[in-house]
Amino acid sequence: MPICKLFSSWPIVVGLMLCCLFSIPCEAKIHHHTFIIQEATYTRLCNNTKNILTVNGLYPGPTISTRKGDIVYVKVINRGNKNITIHWHGVRLPRDPWSDGPEYITQCPIQPRANYTQRIQFTEEEGTLWWHAHSEFDRATVHGAIVIYPKLGTTFPFGKPHKEFTLILGEWWNNNITDVYQTAVASGGQFDLSDANTINGQPGDFMPCSSNDTFKVQVEPGKMYLLRLINAAMENEFFFAVSGHNVTVVGTDASYTKPYMNEFIMITQGQTMDLLFQANQFQNSSSPFHYYIIAALYFDANAGGSRDFNATVAILEYKTNHSAPSMTPVLTSLPYFNDTNAAAAFTSGLRSLASSDHPVVITQSVDVKMYITLSVNEQLCPNKSCAGVNGTRFATSMNNASFQTPKLDVLDAYYNSIAGVYTTDFPDQPPLFFNFTGDNLPEELYFVEKSTKAKVLEYNTTVEIVFQGTNLGAVNHPVHLHGHSFYVIGRGTGNFNNTTDPLSYNLVDPPYENTVGVPRNGWATIRFRADNPGVWFMHCHNEEHSIWGMDVVFITKNGNTTEAKILPPPADKPPC
């Protein structure tokens, strides 16, 4: 219903005034959802049955469908046995960090038998996003898709697909997820690897006892389809392909791109992509009519790393009147798991649509420049009693600051001027410069201290960040920024050169994203405008890296007008 019907009992002039007061377009619609956090029993991998945390008993959880400009209210009811929060990944949430969700950053968690209603306003997003738990290790099973269609009266900037379907890439652990989290945190060691990778919660044909439940989609010969792809995995990046078919990228992170055709894609944790493909492989009765949809690990770490290497598949099935015998689906080979050239070549082809209806708005001048190093570190343990390297505890950092989650959320502390929760001294550059990507780095560089440092930004400033990967636990880092999307204006290998590398920046049609993969021993540059007042989290979307401290909080101060000030907190905000 139109949102102004909220004020239907008021005289029409007053109703319109209230719409304007709340900055709500009167053509917008309002939607209501109820998310019940509850345990449900699921079985995977040869009768490995366990209770998992779900929303409404579903794994993956329910899809939120809306249109650009609409508002969605989600009442989250916690009927589980632990605290939880929910985050709306990639949604701007103008002036409303209270609904954003990261635990102890913008809210205290929703306790068992409590509830919290979050308000999600879709202002600039159009395409595919997702929602997920943002507490402990719970997003392993608590996640789902968000589909944002164009406003009524507008349409896709590409031919209308015959149908669409959503695929969520994830992981399955035979062990209880809370146990996985608590064991790793207590020991200071690595998190247990998942037992399978999944597509829509199913491991697929290649894994034991999984063939009967492999996710399947049906297509009609000659039709065009839209595939909405989400990487919800905790630890894994993927090469992905629809065997026998090219895919055309038309969107990333709910922003349209120039059509970009390829045999495969690479997608980092947290990213979403909209892909078109033509169902053009079934020509006659002798043609294959089953094709594997496959996601296989991309992992560019040094020799010391480890991941779940199991490929996961779904099946694309052509609708046909022919009674063909059962046969093995066609399988396309993907690049080798550590083929950094293939990954870089794909990523370099992504470009914003940059059309009159979907323009690129990038400020040429910069107010704040930051150079942020990303490292996997260590902390000393008494008597070398931890399970990390040489008895240490694993930690991670940005600019040698390893984030320590506070006991009171940063947003509440900022809004109510509560001292002692965070400091405002996150540095614009690392405290020590060295050959960040060099081999055999001195051992003392690995050690780091915990802190809760934030970076304060003046309203409406333009921010440019160069993320520098280091050879301290070198691996691709998918960095996600809450409350904003940003332009990825540059990317390269080695140590960033402040003189020559900016000459290669794309300031014409760079991709507009909310999650950027910073290549192993390389760099990536983003640019955004800090025009969303509030407290916003930035972190690595490899979940163990975020838990270990590869995080920072941005605080964007209020502007001078009412429309540039943070909204007041909701009445049902969860207590600490």
Task: Look at residue 4 and tell me whether its pLDDT is greater than 50.
Answer: no
Task: Look at residue 52 and tell me whether its pLDDT is greater than 60.
Answer: yes
pTM of the full structure: 0.94
Task: Look at residue 19 and tell me whether its pLDDT is greater than 60.
Answer: no
Cα separation, 481 vs 471, in Å, equals: 23
What confidence score (pLDDT) does residue 373 get? 98
Q: Which residues contact 113 (CB under 8 A, 6 or more apart)?
A: 78, 79
Q: For the chain, which domains are there?
A: 30-149 (2.60.40.420), 163-349 (2.60.40.420), 368-564 (2.60.40.420)
Task: Look at residue 26 and tell me whether its pLDDT is greater than 80.
Answer: no
What is the average per-residue pLDDT within 495-518? 98
What confidence score (pLDDT) does residue 150 get? 97
What confidence score (pLDDT) does residue 304 get? 55
Task: Look at residue 414 and tell me whether its pLDDT is greater than 60.
Answer: yes
Cα separation, 469 vs 523, in Å, equals: 6
What confidence score (pLDDT) does residue 12 get? 36
Task: Look at residue 61 and tell me whether its pLDDT is greater than 80.
Answer: yes
What is the average per-residue pLDDT within 499-517? 98
What angle (nearest 5°) sits at the alpha carbon of residue 327, between those of residues 323 and 329?
115
What confidence score (pLDDT) does residue 315 get? 97
The tokens describing 434, both together, are 């060295």
pLDDT band of residue 322 (cuts 50, 70, 90) is low
33-48: per-residue pLDDT in tens?
999 999 999 999 998 8
What is the average per-residue pLDDT within 466-483? 95
140-195: per-residue pLDDT in tens?
999 999 999 999 999 999 999 999 999 999 999 999 999 999 999 999 999 999 99
Distance of CA 66 to the CA centre of its chain: 19
What confidence score (pLDDT) does residue 321 get? 74
Cα separation, 24 vs 31, in Å, equals: 14
| Residue in 112, 125, 115, 166 with CA at minimum distance from that of residue 275 | 166
356-378: per-residue pLDDT in tens?
999 999 988 999 999 999 999 99
